[in-house]
């Protein structure tokens, strides 16, 4: 089969398509023919220096067809989805209905699981004010959709050329330097950026608010004003997709997407041979929404 193989860490140029042996499912695994693979920021981090064993095939999310039953399925936490075939634990494979396209199904995994976890750990309810930093990323947009579905008032930041598109999603768009951020009085802030936005995220919170952090796209070494924490009684909480049950979350997300209540935005779909271009475009912040690889 063809797969994008990582043999060393580095820039996007280290990603190459190779012919490799077909995977053999182990105990409790099923073989899936991949039709769409979602590109996540974690993949970029692994390629850039996080990976410690080689060779390896990147990718956690995808969609495809079970070889044994012919069912259309979504995959998450699968591993090695940048490939034509992947062996996946059956507990991470979820049947999808005809109403849900392959690209949208592949986009539902990590970003929307993180969004559901964000709503869970911050206790979001109807009428709450929410700030989503980096709203133009696939995970940021998932957080916007999930928060809006719960009835929250959503503000979101992005680069100036993406603000109108955030408005189209239903969020109130803000530039990263917008002075209104400090007076939002938000119940919760989603901040995957890190040091570049961390101080503003704290200021955006109201009394008793929660800053929920799933990672750091910029520097992870952030400055904290302790008196802001103390004065407002704030929480800073690290979390991830595993904060909510996998099976229940994925089945709910698939159902909502099939009914059109969640609409993952697909920025572009590229062949496996352009995996390096997919990584480059995401790192250059040229994308708005999910990038999908097509084996």
CATH number at residue 201: 3.40.50.720
214 part of a folded domain: yes
CATH number at residue 27: 3.90.180.10
The pLDDT tens digits of the residues spanning 56-67 come to 999 999 999 999
Whether 129 and 227 map to the same domain: the answer is: yes
Cβ neighbors of 49 (< 8 A, separation 6 or more) are 9
How confident is the model at residue 217, as a pLDDT?
85
258 part of a folded domain: no
Whether 238 and 120 map to the same domain: the answer is: yes
How confident is the model at residue 223, as a pLDDT?
87
Whether 127 and 101 map to the same domain: the answer is: no
Element containing residue 129 per DSSP (H, E):
strand 129-132
How confident is the model at residue 116, as a pLDDT?
97
Closest to 190 (Cα-Cα) out of 246, 149, 131, 243: 131
> For residue 55, is the peptide bond before it cis, meaning its omega torsion is within 30 degrees of 0?
yes
How confident is the model at residue 218, as a pLDDT?
86
Number of domains observed in the structure of the chain: 2
How confident is the model at residue 186, as a pLDDT?
98
For 180: left if phi > 0, alpha if psi spans -120 to 50, otherwise beta; the answer is: alpha
Stretches where the chain sits below pLDDT 50 are none
Domain boundaries, position 157: 111-243
Prediction pTM value: 0.94
The bridge status of strand 290-294 relative to strand 266-271 is parallel
């Amino acid at each position: 089969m063809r797969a994008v193989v990582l043999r060393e860490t580095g820039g996007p140029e280290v990603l190459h398509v190779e012919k490799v042996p077909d995977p053999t499912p182990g105990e409790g695994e099923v073989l899936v023919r991949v039709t769409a693979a979602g590109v996540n920021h974690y993949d970029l981090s692994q390629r850039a220096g996080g990976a410690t064993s080689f060779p390896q095939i990147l990718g956690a999310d995808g969609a495809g067809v079970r070889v044994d039953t012919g069912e259309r399925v979504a995959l998450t936490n699968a591993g090695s989805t940048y490939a034509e075939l992947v062996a996946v634990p059956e507990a991470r494979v979820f049947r999808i209905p005809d109403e849900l396209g392959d690209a949208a199904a592949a986009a539902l995994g990590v970003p929307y699981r993180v969004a559901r976890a964000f709503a869970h750990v911050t206790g979001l309810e109807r009428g709450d004010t929410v700030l989503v930093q980096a709203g133009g990323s696939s995970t940021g947009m998932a957080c916007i959709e999930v928060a809006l579905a719960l009835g929250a008032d959503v503000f979101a930041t992005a680069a100036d050329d993406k603000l109108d598109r955030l408005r189209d999603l239903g969020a109130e768009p803000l530039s990263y330097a917008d002075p209104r951020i400090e007076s939002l009085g938000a119940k919760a802030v989603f901040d995957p950026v890190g040091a570049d936005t961390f101080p503003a995220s704290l200021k955006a919170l109201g009394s008793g608010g929660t800053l929920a952090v799933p990672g750091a796209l910029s520097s992870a070494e952030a400055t904290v004003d302790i008196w802001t924490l103390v004065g407002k009684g704030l929480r800073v909480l690290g979390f991830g997709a595993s904060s909510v049950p996998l099976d229940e979350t994925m089945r709910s997300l698939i159902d909502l997407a099939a009914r059109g209540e969640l609409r993952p935005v697909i920025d572009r779909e590229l062949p496996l041979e352009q995996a390096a271009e997919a990584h480059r475009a995401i790192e250059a912040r040229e994308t708005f929404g999910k990038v999908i690889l097509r084996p």
